[in-house]
Amino acid sequence: MQDNSAQDQVFRLTGLSNREFLERYARPGRIGLSGGVTLIDKAICRAERRLDGALRWGSWSHAFLFQGVRADGHHWVIESDLQIHRKHIQLGVQENRASKYHDEKLYTTLAVLDFGLSEEQITVLLREALELVAGRARYSLRELVGTLIALRRPELRARGNILARERSMYCSAFVQHLFRKAGLELAPGVDGKNTTPEDISRTLVPHVTYQLDREPQLTRLKEEKLKLKRRVGARLRLLRRKSRKADDGA
């Protein structure tokens, strides 16, 4: 456990799969954060370095809301996302099984934020989220670009997103919108449609963070080099043994 402040605690966990982590900590009204390996994940985390004095890349590229376990026995989330399935594209606020985040190669980092909300606040969050699902609110790549521009020009962060559209929002703007409806301001001084996943992770609203830490995985190239090095080493040892036997026989 790492205690960052009197109001915020971070529990760092290891040795769990994504599935085990989410089954343990996903609850209705909690926020999920993820980081991944796609180009858009990397672009968002790189842009978020402007939120850090040391220009360290952000850790989070996506934010979503946990809805809870349904009659099918699965955890569900509500999120504004872009998903491409075979012959089908989902673009906007949608409901998905949390099992989509079990893929550890695609979602390499995860966190769950617990704000200790009341049942009334959770009801407000879920009601507003489902209203946006029913209203087919769109995922806005355009507004995401507007936020990236605002990150380069901090004076724009408090203003309306320069590329804002009606009935559209990307992931963390969606989460910020929901929590404002429940009376919580996650990123004071930042326009809702300029809110990043990293802003949400750094919120000063009292909460507990459960973060899944995983040992950095070797890239495929490094793995192949390591395997080659081991094979060469084994071959050399074998040749040395044969050479010594030949010398002894002589």
pLDDT at residue 87, rounded to an integer: 59
Q: Could you say which of 3.90.1720.10, 3.40.50.20, 1.10.3720.10, 3.80.10.10 is the CATH number of the domain covering 2-216?
A: 3.90.1720.10
Query: What are the pLDDT digits (tens) for 180-194?
Result: 999 999 999 999 999
**How many C-alpha atoms does 197 have within 13 Å on its Cβ side?**
32
Which run of H or E residues covers position 114? strand 107-114
Contact 217, 69 (CB under 8 A): no
Q: What is the pLDDT of residue 187?
A: 97
Would you state the pLDDT for residue 5? Answer: 42
Paired with 127 in beta bridges are none
For the chain, the structural domain boundaries read: 2-216, 218-250
Q: Report pTM.
A: 0.81
Which of 100, 107, 128 lies closest to 184, judged by CA? Answer: 128
CA 80 to each of CA 10, 53, 137, 201, 227: distance values in angstroms, whole numbers, following the listed order:
26, 29, 8, 17, 41
pLDDT at position 1 is 39
136: exposed, middle or buried (C-beta count within 10 Å: 0-12, 13-18, 19+)? Answer: exposed
Q: What is the pLDDT of residues 218-227, one digit of tens each?
A: 444 555 566 6
Could you read off the pLDDT tens digit of each residue along the chain, which spans 250 residues? Answer: 333 443 579 999 999 999 999 999 999 999 999 999 999 899 999 999 999 999 999 999 999 999 999 999 999 999 999 876 555 667 899 999 999 999 999 999 999 999 999 999 999 999 999 999 999 999 988 999 999 999 999 999 999 999 999 989 999 999 999 999 999 999 999 999 999 999 999 999 999 999 999 765 544 455 556 666 777 777 778 777 767 776 666 5
Q: Under 8 Å CB-to-CB from 243, ≥6 apart: which residues? A: none
